[in-house]
Structure 1
Amino acid sequence: MKARTLSDRLIGRFAYLYMTLFVIAAIIPFMTIVSTSFTDEQYIRANGFDIFPHAVTLDAYNYILGRGSSIMGAYQVTLLVTVAGTLVSMLLTTMMAFALSRREWRMAVPISFFVYFTMLFNGGIVPWYIVTTKYLHLYDNLPALIVPYAINAFNLIVLRSFISTIDNSIFEAAKIDGSNEIQLLFKIALPLSLPGIATISLFYAISFWNDWWLGLMLISDRELYPLQLLIRAITSNISYAASSGVNSSIAAAAIPKEGVKMATTVLTIGPIILLYPFLQRYFVKGLTIGSVKG
């Protein structure tokens, strides 16, 4: 008994040590990014990166935020797309996941197969672009940043699996009491699936927030640029200026190139980091979706 207790203690201590090392390994790169964004460019060139800022300056942030209306406009576009896109995606995904989880619906299995099939094969970028722009008219408008990502097949299958773990007798009892399918969804399935819904909502929010590809493909109006695409354009312009002629290289030398890269990273990941604590209590349980039956 004592040997077993000692073994359990050793395993517990090893687990704590492993998690401590893992946290340190994860937080050091983030501290380096934040530190570099506040460090003078000349110091970075001479001494490299460090986890603590030296020769503190706000040049990188002044350079980015000096674009003023462009950055704020891109933030507004990205916030709107993230909030609206997540709400639309969760509404559609939840309704479809609930329908596919209903065992008595004979079309659930065939449609689930077609959903899974889209994860393996697609028509390619050119057919997608033609359908999106010519037939759906999703070009240079906000729906172009939302509709193509409205339902993610992986998220749909995961949420369906979570809803499927709810005991079917609960739905049967509610139907005997006179509940219809809409009431089953919003009064039973949604409250009992809150951890899964919170986790999938976070996945959708991160996807919309980090996306720049739809903007690159479907947006030409600079006023509709999402944040990620605008920052990509800013960093690309800096790199282009640094690799151009002598005059451009002299001008580019005054730009805190490394600091700008790190500052853009801080500006883009900030809102998502603030969102995570509100969903943390659901996140761990949501990651175990479908692991426990009943």
Structure 2
Amino acid sequence: MNQPTGVRVFGAVNVTLLVLLCVVMLYPFVTVLAQSFSSSGAIEAGKVSLWPVGFNVDTYIAVTSNGTFWRNYGNTVLYTVVGTTIAMVLTTTYAYVLSKKHLKGRNALIGIAVFTMFFNGGLVPNYVLISSLGMKNTMWAIVLPNAVSVFNLLVMKSFFENLPKDIEEAAQIDGLGWYGIFGRIVLPLSKPVIATMVLFYSVQYWNDWFLAFLYLDKSELFPVTLFLRNLIAGASTSASEGAAAAETTTALVSSNIQAVTMVLTVIPILCVYPFVQRYFVSGIMLGSVKG
């Protein structure tokens, strides 16, 4: 079909802008990937851009040959899976409750949640609380403090508010209680926003190292992000085996270690994202229609 000139121009401009945007987004990642396989001298000389120069895998060998690295990698997977599961259970149930306008005290519950976005106890009180609860040097010090993101909570609340009320009323007429409606009706209809929140929480737990830095003293409990952080920083504490690895391999990997650590930590997220990306935009848009 012949299209008007204006439509063709508009389409060409859109395609050009999207291609340029893709190039801009991919360029940093491709550069980091190239640096991870380049020699230290080439990186220091600024010769690496989109293709490795002086192909080098010493850094990957130095990092991955350490048994602590794989143990910490397993810890990260465990923390991410457990933390995301707990976060999704709490966020979905709390958001569903808040979406019911007939709930007594609804505004107070929303206010309590929003209040935590602007105010918190602070670093020292949180440390004292975690220690007094006996969670220091345990997985729970990592997965529980950030179990509910208020932003994610509000997005899910808005999504639930936009679901057709007729479906829930029909389910009630058929004899389903609130738990049955939530589990058999609401959740299956909420796949886009659930997939989006799973991605958000997974990335949060996967990338987090600061809570582990505060609450974990045993290197066998470290997540891989803290191991690699110590490797980059050249930490020298006796409790950090990652620091010991850095001391023995600094001469080999000092220039491209940051590139290697970024590649190693981003690979799992890149593997998961294609399976949830089709829900990503729709989940955000549908959950943001109402405040």
Asked if these proteins are the same fold (TM beyond 0.5), I'd say yes
Alignment-mate amino acid for residue 183 of structure 1: G
- Map 1:137-156 to 2 at 5 A: 137-156=134-153
Aligned match for 1:162, one of 159, 162, 166: 159
SS of the equivalent of 1:52 reads coil
Q: Is the 8 A contact 1:85 1:150 kept in 2?
A: yes
Question: Equivalent of 1:204, from 196, 201, 204?
Answer: 201
1:253 Cα deviation from its structure 2 partner? 7.0
Residue 80 of structure 2 is matched in structure 1 by 82
Post-superposition Cα deviations, 1:173-232, rounded to whole Å, max 9, x if no partner, equal 111111101011111110111100000110000000000011011001111011111100
Shift in Å, 1:292: 5.2
Equivalent residues of 1:238, 1:257 under 8 A apart: no
- Whole-Å separation in 2 of the counterparts to 1:238 and 1:36: 23
Instruction: Give the unaligned 5+ runs of structure 2.
Output: 237-247
Structure 2 Cα separation of the partners of residues 102 and 182 of structure 1: 14
For residues 202-281 of structure 1, what are the structure 2 equivalents within 5 Å?
202-237=199-234, 254-281=251-278
The secondary structure found in structure 2 opposite 1:271 is: helix
Partners of 1:75 and 1:215 lie apart in 2 by: 13
Q: Is the 8 A contact 1:85 1:146 kept in 2?
A: yes
**Counterpart residue number, 2:13:** 14
Give 2:24's aligned residue.
25
Aligned partner of 1:185: which letter? F
Once the two structures are TM-superposed, the CA of residue 114 in structure 1 deviates from its matched residue by 1.2
Q: Contact 2:157/2:287 (CA < 8 Å) preserved in 1? A: no
Aligned mates of 1:148, 1:58 — CA distance in 2 = 38
Runs of 4+ in 1 over 4 A off after TM superposition: none
- Provide closer, same or farther for how the CA distance between residues 30 and 143 of structure 1 changes in structure 2, counting only shifts above 3 A: same
Query: TM-score, normalising length from structure 1?
Result: 0.90
SS at match of 1:284: helix
Say if 1:63 and 1:260, in contact at 8 Å, map to a contact too. Answer: no
Q: CA deviation at 1:238?
A: 7.8
TM-aligned CA deviation for residue 132 of structure 1: 1.7
- Aligned residue-pair number: 280
% of aligned pairs identical? 35
- State the alpha-carbon separation in 1 of the partners of residues 19 and 214 from structure 2: 42
| 1:238/1:252 contact within 8 Å kept | no
Structure 1 pair 174/72, CA: closer, same or farther in 2 (3 Å)? same
Contact residue 39 and residue 259 of structure 1 kept, 8 A: yes
2: CA distance between counterparts of 1:87 and 1:284?
A: 22
TM-score (norm 2): 0.91
What are the Cα deviations for residues 113-135 of structure 1, in whole angstroms up to 9, with x where unaligned? 1111111111211112111211x
Unaligned runs of 5+ in 1: 240-250
- Alpha-carbon distance between aligned partners in 2 of 1:175 and 1:47, rounded to the nearest angstrom: 67
CA 110–23 in structure 1, closer or farther in 2 if over 3 Å, else same: same
Residue of structure 2 aligned with 1:183, choices 180, 184, 194: 180
Q: Per-residue deviation at 1:55?
A: 1.6
Q: Alpha-carbon deviation of 1:50?
A: 1.6
The 10-residue stretch of structure 1 (94-103 or 104-113) with the greater mean CA deviation from structure 2: 104-113
Distance in 2, matches of 1:291 and 1:28, equals: 31
